[in-house]
Structure 1
Amino acid sequence: METKDKVLLGVSSNILLLGVVSFFTDISTELIMSVLPTFLVISLGATPEIVGTIEGIAESMTSFLKLVSGAIADRTRKRKRLTVIGYAISNIIKPIMGFATSWWDVLALRIGDRIGKGLRTAPRDAMIADSSDSRIGRSFGIHRTLDQLGAVAGPVLAFLLLIPLGYGGIFLFTAIPGAIAIAILVIFVKEPPSKTKPNKAILKNARAIMNRSFSMYIVSATLYAASAISYAFILLRAIEVGIPAEMTALVYALIQIFHVFSGVPAGEISDRFGRIRAVQVGYLLLLAAFATIAFSTEPWTFLFGVILFGMHQGTIETSQRAVIPSLTKEEFKGTAYGVYNMAVGAVALPTNIAAGFIYASLGSQYAFLYGFILALFASLAMAATQMTLKRKMEK
């Protein structure tokens, strides 16, 4: 049920405010992520395997917390509290990266940052769903667009600040947008009214969400997550095709720009033509992106692949989350988001370690072909999921 205070873009103020929180948080996150691969390799002497391992460990550490936080949010119906704690942890830890002197320091701080993300993601998504009417795809699309506007601003700021401030100064600067995000969340975002009472037995009953359709969807989404190797490898590939290292932040910004522009259209496609169809469009864009990036020998063809990758990100981030409420019961919504986020996060470590090993031992082309093959399997699995849902609806 969407709250009565509808404002711009046809969604409640709560959704817009959560989007603004994500906007400022993503500025701080992408300030770091747009320069982190080159910082690790050039300043700290890390190898591609180490870069992949850091990102894999950091993302995988969030997986279990996403499930637990979603279940706790369903159990207590206090979703805002967990969301605040998660955002606070991430935004407090990120500036400390300015004092990192080894890749071990970066690993520890990335783990801390991702712990915060693990705590906040499932309850925040449940808050968005609870603040929405039937146009849930639009709600997630608008939230994701605001989130990604921050992801565009972050690397652009990094490009402008890298020479005057250096890597350490950029990391310390993240404290400013982080503090703004926490203040908006604490002061202005409201706990949406719950449609169900707190379920004290929710952890025991969590298996109730694992119906056939939901399980098949999770398998498909997990295969996709295994294919989506880290941004870091795209930025390292940029240097290989002739883009200067100091310009890689702008490559990252290009990804985020097209991520932004595809978010709301993907939400509209999701609501109008079916959410799983929108997901399949995202998978096809990823296949095209990886093939282009893998075989590019010139910057312009590589940048076309980067654009496709950004479009895929906006489509997937909007549509995959919007599918969840239609596959599970209302009282298990937070837990369902937790299971989804845990599943897609759990494969981050092995897939990025594998991609890093392939990149270092066989070359970058093979790393992206590895992602292409897994994305192809994900696309086939999602087609099977859609057929299962169609047969279920026809009965």
Structure 2
Amino acid sequence: MVLGFGLVSLAVDAVSDGARPLAGPLLAQLGASALVVGLVTGAAEAAAQGLRLLFGPWADRTGKYWTFTIAGYALTVLCVPLLAVTPVVGAAGLVLASALIIGDRVGKAVRSPAKTVLLASVAGPVGRGRGFAVHKSLDLAGAFAGPLIASAVIAATGSLWPAFAVLAIPGALAMALLFRIRGRVPEPQRTAEQLVTPVLPDAPDTPGGLKPADTPAGRLPGVFLLFALSAFFWSAGLVAFGVIAFHLTAAVDVPVSAVPLVYAAAMAAAALGALASGYGYDRAGGAVLLVLPVLVAVIPVLAFSVSTGPVLGGVLVWGAATGIQDSTVKALVADLVVPARQGTAYGIFAAFEGGGALAGGALYGALYGTRPALIAAVAVLQAVAMVLVVATVVRSRRRPGAETGPGAEPGPEPE
């Protein structure tokens, strides 16, 4: 079932990531400035992350994880092909394109917490680090194939819009496969044992050291909130690819048809980053995530150079950081929070990431023309992120009832 979810993600990411590297060039063709591109792509990432704060708890309350998963995938496979009509609707094209770009990422917000809970429930027997890494690698295979498809269509037609239109095909295949898997994976069952969460050392004493998670007294572990805060800071420095694509075409003179190929290379780097960090997580625990702020700090140094070589190197670093963020980070969240609260936890965590993405979009858009100031600002953000990740790792190891890394059980369990 891990492979099944991975194949669905492969097909849907061929759609979403086939269009994603073209967002910057499309908006530029429709009259957008660098600031507008930064704001739209930043808002799209903020929607993809921040709206999970709504949909994660909603999925937990209703228990209808499959409903949210299917609805989110459907929104993406509808919005992306409709980008094909934006060049022919006149002055409204820029507004429509912005709405559809954001709509695609809203679809991710709708499905992601629910889908991740489903994935966590089937990945436990193989190890969550490995399970999330393998799933993400298949996901990234689609993210690699989609840009290649888009690039081939652009090269053949000389236009952007056919590349968006052809992505309706993998979208239809994804939905057919998703409904097939739906019949084999039930909704996760929430047992009484899963409705409790370990209490932090500074929490009031309770019998057995536990609190019911669904009562007013219950709460998510403080170490989880500390980790979510660190996510805000690294996300604020992790630039949206739309801004990098804008730079590639505006300052480095990379042809638009080559941008999807550059993005495909980034997705290959993301797959390697996800696999390496995922397997490392199952052996060493959350300490492997200390590499993430370092990678993010390097990105603006390379990616916003005016030379092709450093820019391409920056794109590969961006890909590796993205792969770690979208796989191993989620494994640690699953190990910090009991299953019955994971939808809520993923929603809250994504809200912190989304707030960081929105701040980062504005930051990169405003400082795009002053590279030293941009590099310095991102470095400060990542220094704070590093301190918070270290604190998270240390505190998670001291927390009663929590265990991650080698030999860990799949998620915190009551004593």
Whether the TM-score (by the shorter chain) exceeds 0.5 is yes
Code of the aligned partner of 1:65: L
Q: RMSD of the TM alignment (CA)?
A: 2.4
CA contact (8 A) 1:289 1:308 kept: yes
DSSP 3-state at the match of 2:218: helix
Identify the residue that residue 229 of structure 1 maps to in structure 2.
239
CA deviation map 1:1-32 (0-9, x unaligned): xxxxxxxxxxxxx2111111111111111221
The correspondence of residues 1-395 of structure 1 with structure 2, limited to 5 A, is 14-41=1-28, 43-101=29-87, 102-133=93-124, 135-165=127-157, 166-189=159-182, 190-196=185-191, 205=215, 208-239=218-249, 240-274=251-285, 276-294=286-304, 296-359=305-368, 362-364=369-371, 366-392=373-399
Alignment coverage as a number of residue pairs: 375
The alignment-based identity, stated in percent, is 27
- Structure 2 residue runs of 5 or longer lacking an equivalent are 88-92, 196-211, 403-415
Tell me how far apart the structure 2 counterparts of residues 290 and 301 of structure 1 sit (CA, whole Å): 10
Residue aligned with 2:254, SS: coil
Between the aligned partners of 1:364 and 1:261, the Cα distance in structure 2 is 29
- Residues 164 and 243 of structure 1, relative CA distance in 2, 3 Å threshold: closer
* Distance (whole Å) between structure 2 residues aligned to residue 27 and residue 56 of structure 1: 21
Quote the Cα distance in structure 2 between the aligned partners of 1:84 and 1:242: 40
Give the AA of the match of 1:114: R
Unaligned stretches of 5+ residues in structure 1? 1-13
Q: In the TM superposition, what whole-angstrom CA distance separates every residue of 1:227-267 from its partner, at most 9, and x where no partner exists?
A: 11211222233342453343222211111111122222221
Indicate the SS of the match to 2:124.
Answer: coil
Opposite residue 12 of structure 2, the aligned amino acid is: T
Q: Deviations over 1:330-358 (max 9, x none)?
A: 22111111111122113322321221121
For the residues of structure 1 that align with 2:256 and 2:174, how far apart are their CA atoms? 30
User: Which runs of structure 1 show a deviation greater than 6 angstroms over 4 or more consecutive aligned residues?
Assistant: none
Indicate if the aligned counterparts of 1:25 and 1:177 stay in contact, CA closer than 8 A. yes
AA paired with 1:178?
Answer: G
**Distance change >3 Å, CA 273–CA 35, structure 1 → 2:** same
For 1:172, the aligned partner's letter is A
Letter in 2 for 1:122: P
- What one-letter code is carried by the residue in structure 1 that aligns with 2:342? K
Q: Which moved more, 1:143-152 or 1:276-285?
A: 276-285
